[in-house]
Amino acid sequence: MPLILILAGAVLMVVAFRGTEHEFAAQAAHDFGGTAFLAWSAAVVILGAIGYYSPLRRVSDLGLALVILALVLANGGLFTQLAAVIDNPPAASAPVPLASYGGSLSGSSSSSSGGGGGGGLACAGEGAASGAAMGSVAGPWGTVVGAGVGAIAGGLG
């Protein structure tokens, strides 16, 4: 169950970063809406519930196998649709540009493991110099980490 929640969270984060929440919601409503999805999910739930009664466990297992087989073969067959998608892949959507941020974030932080306080956070376009000015974040590696973060942020601008 935790793996399913982690994957769902990752999908939602990717959707949010791309800015395609509306397209995702429309696709989810199209996929999970309607009576077909409800009928198949009700069949799986009912057959699963029957399986909790020991004498009917075998009937439940066979019924679930039949439902899975019907899902694979329904709507023109899985392999036919897979071959069609491989032959004609869907077109990629246009990338959503990220909003550029020209200012700087400032804040102060201090480290209890030594090395003094840090300066502000380096933003895009400010380069490695401001990253090095961050000071020691958490001990002796802080300056190196700060310089690396500043160089990365400078390269993104």
Question: Could you give the CA distance from residue 81 to residue 23 in angstroms, rounded to a whole number?
Answer: 22
Per-residue pLDDT of the chain (157 residues; tens, 9 = 90+): 789 999 999 999 999 998 888 999 988 888 888 778 888 889 999 999 999 999 999 999 999 999 888 888 877 777 787 888 888 887 777 776 666 655 555 554 444 444 444 444 444 444 444 444 444 444 444 444 445 555 455 555 4
> For 103-141, where are the alpha helices, taking DSSP H only?
127-132
Give the chain's end-to-end CA distance (angstroms, integer): 40
Q: Which residues contact 153 (CB under 8 A, 6 or more apart)?
A: 122, 123, 124, 125, 126, 127, 131
pTM of the model: 0.43
81, two tokens: 């649709």
